[in-house]
Amino acid sequence: MGHFDQLRQASRENFHRIWEAVKQGRALTPEEKRFADAMQAHPEYHNAWEFSDVVGPVPYEVEGVNPYLHITAHVMIENQLEAD
């Protein structure tokens, strides 16, 4: 597994960890909460979060959109708006 693949897998596992914490009602950091809120706001990606810890070639697109990139963009924009 190359460096980029390792980074992508770590990101997928982080999404999965946040998703599992939401389902179990565990406390989240403010940054995790921001990701969780964006993840929950997109039911079309919920299946992606369920299986995001799976190693290997999991589809990275849902209806032509990379859900991980989409949610990350949401959080980045929210952070920028909050910072003014």
With 0.85 as the threshold, say if the pTM is over it.
no
| Distances from the Cα of 53 to the Cα of 47, 69, 76, angstroms | 12, 16, 22
Q: What is the mean pLDDT of residues 22-27?
A: 95
Both tokens of 26, joined, read: 């565990």
CA distance 81 to 47: 29
Q: To the nearest whole number, what is the mean pLDDT of the chain?
A: 84
Does residue 18 register a pLDDT over 90?
yes
CA distance 8 to 20: 18
DSSP class per residue in 7-48: HHHHHHHHHHHHHHHHHHT----HHHHHHHHHHHT-GGGHHH
Give residue for tokens 């990139």. 69
| Percent of the chain's residues with pLDDT above 90 | 36
pLDDT digits (tens, 9 = 90+) for 61-77: 778 888 888 998 888 89
Does residue 6 register a pLDDT over 80?
no
